[in-house]
Amino acid sequence: MDPKSTVKIINKDIDKLEKEYARGKVSVHGIMKEQEAIMDIAEKELEKVKKKIIITRKSLEPYRSGKSLDDDFLTMKNKYERLLVRKEQLEKTVQIVLESIGRGKLNLI
């Protein structure tokens, strides 16, 4: 094989690789945008949950001072526990997305 034909083949391969890289870069960019949108939604939901936790905690205050443990208390206690679990889930979601976005940005370099 003569050197000119070898150079042509190499140049074609380089062009193909550059096109694949460009497509991959666009794909990663799109995924990162989706992840940022997910993170925004999760952060907004997290703020709502934190506010609900504060309100529910205040509703439970009278029971700490010795008020009888009735059905209302158990309902509020269960609601509070569910909110704490939801808060933890949302915090994990935000953390995972942040890590994923960070990895995506590293891949774009």
The reported pTM is 0.67
- Integer Cα distance of 30 and 34 in angstroms: 6
pLDDT in tens, the chain (109 residues): 677 777 788 888 888 888 888 888 888 788 888 888 998 999 999 999 999 999 999 888 877 776 667 788 888 889 999 999 999 999 999 999 888 888 776 666 5
Q: What pLDDT, on a 0 to 100 scale, did the predictor assign at position 27?
A: 81
Q: What pLDDT, on a 0 to 100 scale, did the predictor assign at position 73?
A: 83
- Integer Cα distance of 54 and 92 in angstroms: 20
**Which residue from 109, 100, 106 is spatially nearest to 32, judged by alpha carbons?**
100
Ranges of each domain in the chain: 29-108
